[in-house]
Amino acid sequence: MNKTESTIEKFNEHVVPSYGRYDLVLEHGSSRTAVDEEGREYIDFGSGIGTNSLGYCDEKWVEAVCAQAHAIQHTSNYYYTKVQADFAAKLCELTGYSKLFFGNSGAEANECAIKTARKYSFDKYGRDAQRNVIITLVNSFHGRTIATLSATGQDVFHNYFFPFVEGFVNVEANNIGDLRAKLAENEGRVCAVMFECIQGEGGVVTLDKEFLDAISEECAAKDILMICDEVQTGVGRTGKFLCCEHFGIRPNIVTLAKGLAGGIPIGVCLCDEKTCDVLTAGTHGSTFGGNPIVCAGGNAVLDRVSDGDFLGQVTAKGEHFRSRLAEIDEVEGVDGIGLMIGVRLKSKDAHDVAKACLDNGLLILTAKDKLRFLPPLTITEEEIDKGLEILKKVLAKA
């Protein structure tokens, strides 16, 4: 038994089997390259599902995290820390939102958004109004807690864990008629519409600007809150800090997670002037939310990603990625924006391709029946080309 087999056996003996894992044990990494226990290197086009936004062990990020670990690693939210205040101020200034809530994951950020929306209507319209319905989209994904699973518009997730949380109504994505019909059916009962500008887990499906404009118009007219789930699309992933900037809309609430702290757990719920004081003392909380070490990592990420030149490079690298993908015969089409890329294949099974790429030194993801690329934002064009040469060879095999 080699080192990899020994580690996997030990892991499987003690860890709940809730993931379908590849037989790969990663030991360390540098920049955009991961290394396994046997010393084999892999170009990373997945970045921990869009989480290692600056790649592996970015020097300035490591310095910031280590310095904070030597100062104070945790304090309860009964107290303040400067690093937390600095990060909150920096993020609010960067996005134009008034205040934020700190959590530990995208699901937790979305839970906060759901609670904020329902309490907003409770406070303004009263309990008897029962104004608590949240419209979400078919094919959406918002997390794995009971409430966020309930919000998720995919039947495959709606099993086992009954009863699910009531008060969610699904609308077909990009169907303005269905949106208006569901709003009419639930007249006076809808408190929010929740959506992803690009449905990541749903297969990298981009919403139409006309559909997002319709959501914005309907919400403004009816005092319904707009919640934009930017857990996967945010923090520069699409070439703008928030993906919703591409569409000219301004949601009342935006959720962020994944790449925001460069690889350590974070979730943030950003609130505008309309919603920023809805959650009052005792109505919500999180033990580890705003952890000082996480905030230090977040500050290092924001210092890089907030730079306009950096975001311009993300856009340029995304365009390079797409142009090179278009040269591959098996590629039928490319979806997404910036460095959030979905690839439709003509005949090959995406999951088989992902496994074959791993065997050849390239880490990629899948979403539905597509290949999905979420590389570190710092990836170079040379690394993109090298990774795509591996993909091209894998796809060329019978």
pLDDT number for residue 398:
58
Beta-bridge partners for 188: none
Alpha-carbon gap, residue 120 to 100, rounded angstroms:
15
> For residues 191 and 156, is the Cβ–Cβ distance under 8 A?
no
Alpha-carbon gap, residue 65 to 171, rounded angstroms:
42
The pLDDT of 22-50, averaged and rounded, is 97
- In this predicted structure, the answer to whether residue 314 has a pLDDT above a threshold of 90 is yes
- In this predicted structure, the answer to whether residue 391 has a pLDDT above a threshold of 70 is yes
Q: Where are the domains of the chain?
A: 3-58+308-396, 72-305
What's the whole-model pTM score?
0.98
Domain 72-305 carries which CATH code?
3.40.640.10
- In this predicted structure, the answer to whether residue 270 has a pLDDT above a threshold of 80 is yes
pLDDT number for residue 78:
97
Angle between the N-to-C axes of helices 82-95 and 292-305, in degrees from 0 to 180, rounded to the nearest 10? 30
The pLDDT of 275-297, averaged and rounded, is 98
The dihedral sign for the CA sequence 302, 304, 309, 313: negative
Alpha-carbon gap, residue 38 to 40, rounded angstroms:
6
User: Is 3.30.1330.30 the CATH number for 3-58+308-396?
Assistant: no
pLDDT number for residue 1:
84
- In this predicted structure, the answer to whether residue 316 has a pLDDT above a threshold of 70 is yes
What percentage of residues in the chain have a pLDDT greater than 70? 100
> For residues 97 and 272, is the Cβ–Cβ distance under 8 A?
yes
Beta-bridge partners for 254: 228, 270
How many other C-beta atoms lie within 10 A of the C-beta of residue 304?
18
The pLDDT of 106-114, averaged and rounded, is 98
pLDDT number for residue 367:
97
DSSP code, position 29: E
- E runs forming strands in the chain: 26-30, 33-36, 41-44, 99-103, 133-137, 168-171, 190-195, 198-199, 205-206, 225-229, 253-256, 267-271, 331-337, 340-345, 362-363, 365-367, 370-373
Cis peptide before 163 (omega within 30 of 0): yes
pLDDT, mean over the chain: 97
